[in-house]
């Protein structure tokens, strides 16, 4: 029996780990004498440093330190050179997580294995997979990835929300590297995300950078020295800029004094930054966050007047101008009674406790932040499948070498942005040539009609029996709360082929997420393919869970036939009668679809 559960906020600037104990206490574990540690990794010539020691070392040897690595999560080819090694963002993040794990274990005298890790709501699948891979590399089992603003909302009490009265909350999360805005419907203990918008390249780091540019301009004008080519001077200026920014949250003017040696010349920097000047430097950034907040309101189909509470999350919301602009734009005083640096980790700890069965205090429903779909020949394409065949990219045996680089341009969403998770949708496509032989299911994520502007998540090929052009093929996506995608492909009259595409798992020890351009596990009929039994059971239980949830929405005695179906399904699950299971599964899905699930059918190739 578990006694504790853990949640980690792996931040751009700082990271934090929270612990929920069976006794009901939710606290942050202090590390290095503080609640949060800098997300910095350094190498001092002898050993790896993390946290505060690494941040200090970064001031002396900036070229031997890495900060804000989160900004590169999911970039397949990005590497930093450190300690004589080429490290991927996953490897650097793994060092931060391993440090948090080891230090927290030393502090509490208990082994930490299973954790919930948070990510910006706006993170795409490759970024989420990279986060899971980093956790696994650090020796952790990542039981769930949750969105930072959703986690923060979990750390807040819903006291205003009575059972029957639903409240709307807006979470404004501005940290060191990312901005997220989520709208939630809160009713009693249930928190449901309605919409999320954000920018994974906007935060306190950018504000520091603006101050640095401002200081560099001043130095050039006043002293005729250009510090921008000197990494040591730039690291020092960045530190001074951040300190001045933080000071301006409580004072109206921040003095900036330091002594530099740049290219053999001495420089005495004696200047000051006023709050007014700083506000002007970051004004456009703040306006862009408010534009995202308006977009989130629009997507949630409400206006600012419908918002009951605005919660501030992330270190950069301490900036008075941020609070002022948020209050002005939304017409409501924002609140931050849970520490803006800790609420995300505390919420991750709360989620971990819910998952471990240590707490039943809340229910959370989250959404898919981006649309997920496939590439298909359509409006956006100048090419046709016949042209691909003519160019030797497809033949009856499957794809030719290099065909991967030639996905069609048209993106057909199957699961739309802001869809509640878990979700299941099916689209109908058509083969484009006679005897096509194979179709490529290329999965993309994003909002653009053109796949080139979206993120390529993965792809696989499905062999087809001989069919004339225009034969229908159905592609279904099932997306669970953990980002596990089950893709089913079926052709009329043919056996259903099921392909599992686990976007969150990576092979243990691998430096990068495992999903690549390789065929996915094939599950014909009821075979599991190479997917584990657990995985299959997870998908099946997911179906039961959804049916139960849908049944619970109506009166208790409604749909006796579905209750019966569900009972037989459970029985057959125990008995392992695959043929009957298939039929029952189809019937349950049909009922789910008929009872309100939106199914869209678009025609494409
Ligand atoms: P987080 O990612 O939530 O840890 O936020 C870190 C960011 O918050 C960094 O850019 C910090 O410089 C910034 N920050 C922390 N405290 C303050 C403060 N008092 N005023 C302004 N920015 C702050």
Q: Name residues whose C-beta falls within 8 Å of residue 572's C-beta, 6 or more positions apart in sequence.
A: 580, 581, 584
d(CA 433, CA 440): 14
Q: Are residues 325 and 432 in the same domain?
A: no
Pocket test for ligand 1, best of 71, 176, 285, 312 (most atoms within 8 A of CB): 176
Same domain, 572 and 472: no
| 481: nearest Cα among 349, 367, 341 | 367
Both 37 and 134 in one domain: the answer is: yes
The protein residue whose alpha carbon is closest to atom 19 in ligand 1 is 246
Q: Do 413 and 323 fall within a single domain?
A: no
Residue 383 forms part of a structural domain = no
Domain of 127 in residue numbering reads as 1-147+345-356
Cβ neighbour number for residue 234 with a 10 Å cutoff: 17
Instruction: Tell me, yes or no, whether 103 and 203 share the same domain.
Output: no
| In a domain? residue 251 | yes
- The pLDDT tens digits for 507-529 are 222 222 222 222 333 333 333 33
Atom of ligand 1 nearest to the CA of 173: 3
* Token representation of residue 445: 């994520």
Q: State the virtual CA torsion across 43, 49, 50, 52 in degrees, nearest 10.
A: -110
What's the structural domain count of the chain? 4
In this structure, the answer to whether residues 141 and 171 fall within a common structural domain is: no
Higher pLDDT, 182 or 383: 182
Q: Are 148 and 351 in contact (CB under 8 A)?
A: no
The answer on 560 and 497 residing in a single domain is no
**Residue 582: predicted pLDDT:** 67
Is residue 169 within 8 A of residue 184, CB to CB? The reply is yes
Contact assessment for residue 35 and residue 28, using Cβ atoms and an 8 Å cutoff: yes
Q: Are residues 135 and 170 in the same domain?
A: no
CA of 542 to the centre of ligand 1 (A): 39
User: Is 269 within a domain?
Assistant: yes
Identify which of 40, 174, 200, 246 to mutate to test ligand 1's pocket (most ligand atoms within 8 A of the CB). 246
What distance in angstroms lies between residue 116's CA and the mean position of ligand 1's atoms?
A: 23
Report which protein residue has its CA nearest ligand 1's atom 7.
176
Is residue 365 assigned to a domain? no
* Domain end (from 471, 504, 519): 519
Do 240 and 256 form a contact (C-beta atoms < 8 A)?
A: yes
Distance from Cα 69 to the centre of ligand 1, integer Å: 16
Calculate ∠ Cα 49-54-56, nearest 5°: 140
Is residue 451 assigned to a domain? yes
Determine contact, residues 96/10, Cβ cutoff 8 Å.
yes
430 confidence band (pLDDT: 50, 70, 90): confident
> Hey, whose CA ends up nearest to atom 3 of ligand 1?
314
Which positions are catalytic? 9, 70, 148, 173
Domain boundary among 477, 501, 519: 519
User: Do 63 and 166 sit in the same domain of this protein?
Assistant: no
pLDDT tens string 565-589: 888 877 776 666 666 776 787 788 7
- Regarding whether 141 and 198 lie in a shared domain, the answer is no
Q: What is the pLDDT of residue 501?
A: 62
Pocket residues: Cβ below 6 A from ligand 1: 11-14, 175-176, 204-205, 242, 245-246, 249, 314-316, 318-319, 341
d(CA 526, CA 544): 17
Q: Is residue 536 assigned to a domain?
A: yes
Please count the other Cβ atoms lying within 10 Å of the Cβ belonging to residue 263: 11
* 530-569 CB burial, b ≥16 within 10 A, e <16: ebeeebbebbeebbeebbeebbeeeeeeebeebeebbebb
Asked whether residue 191 is domain-assigned, the answer is: yes
Determine the atom of ligand 1 nearest the C-alpha atom of 248. Answer: 20
Q: Does residue 174 sit in the same domain as residue 275?
A: yes
Kind plus residue range of the DSSP H or E element containing 117: strand 114-119
Residue 315 shares a structural domain with residue 183: yes
For residue 223, the SS3 value is helix
DSSP string computed for 84-114: TEEE-HHHHHHHHHHHHHHHHHHHHTS---E
- Parallel, antiparallel, or unpaired for β 179-187 and 167-174? antiparallel
In sequence order, the 6+-apart residues with CB closer than 8 A to the CB of 192 are 184, 185, 186, 364, 365, 420
**269-328 pLDDT, tens digit each:** 999 999 999 999 999 999 999 999 999 999 999 999 999 999 999 999 999 999 999 999
User: Distance from the CA of 316 to the center of ligand 1, in angstroms?
Assistant: 4
At residue 500, the 3 state secondary structure works out as strand
Burial string for 93-107 (b: 16+ CB within 10 Å, else e) reads: bbbbbbbbbebbeee
The reply to whether 363 falls in a domain is no
Mean pLDDT over 475-479 rounds to 84
């Amino acid at each position: 029996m578990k006694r504790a559960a853990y949640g980690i906020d792996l931040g751009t600037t700082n990271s934090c780990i929270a612990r929920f104990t069976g006794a009901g206490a939710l606290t942050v574990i202090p590390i290095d004498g503080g609640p949060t540690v800098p997300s910095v990794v350094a190498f001092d010539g002898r050993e790896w440093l993390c946290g505060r020691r690494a941040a200090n070392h970064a001031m002396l040897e900036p070229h031997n330190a890495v900060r804000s690595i989160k900004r590169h999560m999911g970039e397949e080819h990005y590497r930093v050179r450190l300690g004589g090694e080429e490290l991927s963002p996953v490897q650097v993040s793994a060092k931060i997580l391993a440090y948090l794990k080891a230090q927290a274990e030393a502090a509490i005298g208990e082994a930490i294995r299973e954790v919930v890790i948070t990510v910006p709501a706006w993170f795409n699948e490759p970024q989420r997979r990279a986060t899971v891979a980093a956790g696994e590399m650090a020796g952790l089992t990542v039981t769930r990835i949750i969105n930072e603003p959703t986690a923060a909302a979990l750390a807040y009490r819903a006291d205003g929300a009575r059972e029957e009265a639903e409240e709307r909350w807006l979470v404004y999360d501005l940290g060191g590297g990312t901005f997220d805005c989520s709208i939630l419907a809160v009713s009693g203990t249930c928190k449901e995300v309605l919409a999320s918008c954000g920018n994974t390249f906007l935060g306190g780091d950018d504000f520091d950078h603006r101050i640095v540019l401002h200081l560099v301009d001043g130095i050039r004008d006043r002293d005729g020295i250009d510090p921008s080519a000197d990494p040591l001077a730039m690291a020092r200026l960045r530190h001074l800029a951040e300190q001045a920014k933080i000071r301006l949250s409580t004072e109206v003017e921040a003095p900036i004094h330091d002594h530099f040696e740049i290219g053999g010349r001495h420089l005495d920097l004696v200047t000051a930054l006023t709050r007014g000047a700083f506000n002007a430097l970051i004004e456009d950034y703040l306006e862009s966050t408010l534009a995202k907040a308006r977009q989130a309101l629009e997507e949630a189909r409400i206006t600012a007047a419908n918002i009951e509470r605005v919660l501030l999350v992330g270190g950069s919301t301490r900036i008075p101008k941020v609070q002022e602009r948020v209050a002005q734009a939304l017409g409501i005083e924002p609140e931050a009674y849970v520490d803006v640096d800790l609420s995300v980790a505390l919420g991750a700890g709360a989620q971990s406790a819910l998952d471990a069965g240590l707490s039943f205090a809340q229910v959370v429903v989250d959404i898919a932040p981006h649309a997920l779909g496939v590439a298909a020949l359509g409006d956006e394409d100048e090419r046709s499948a016949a042209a691909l065949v003519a160019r030797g990219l497809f033949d009856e045996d499957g794809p030719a070498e290099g065909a991967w680089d030639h996905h069609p341009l048209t993106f057909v969403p199957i699961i739309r942005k802001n869809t509640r998770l878990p979700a299941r949708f099916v689209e109908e496509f058509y083969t484009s040539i006679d005897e096509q032989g194979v179709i490529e299911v290329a999965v993309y994520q994003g909002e653009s009609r053109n796949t080139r502007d979206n993120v390529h998540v993965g792809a696989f090929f499905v062999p087809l029996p001989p069919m004339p052009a225009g034969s229908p093929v159905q592609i279904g996506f099932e997306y669970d709360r953990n980002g596990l995608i089950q893709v089913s492909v079926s052709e009329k009259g043919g056996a259903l082929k099921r392909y599992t595409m686990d976007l969150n798992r990576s092979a243990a020890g691998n430096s990068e997420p495992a999903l690549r351009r390789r065929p996915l596990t094939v599950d014909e009929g009821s075979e599991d393919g190479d997917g584990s039994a657990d995985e299959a059971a997870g998908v099946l239980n997911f179906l039961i869970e959804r049916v139960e949830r849908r049944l619970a929405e109506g009166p208790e005695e409604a749909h006796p036939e579905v209750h019966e179906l569900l009972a037989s399904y459970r029985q057959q699950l125990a008995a392992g009668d695959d043929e009957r299971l298939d039929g029952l599964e189809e019937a349950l899905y049909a009922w789910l679809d008929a009872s309100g699930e939106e199914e869209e059918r678009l025609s494409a190739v």
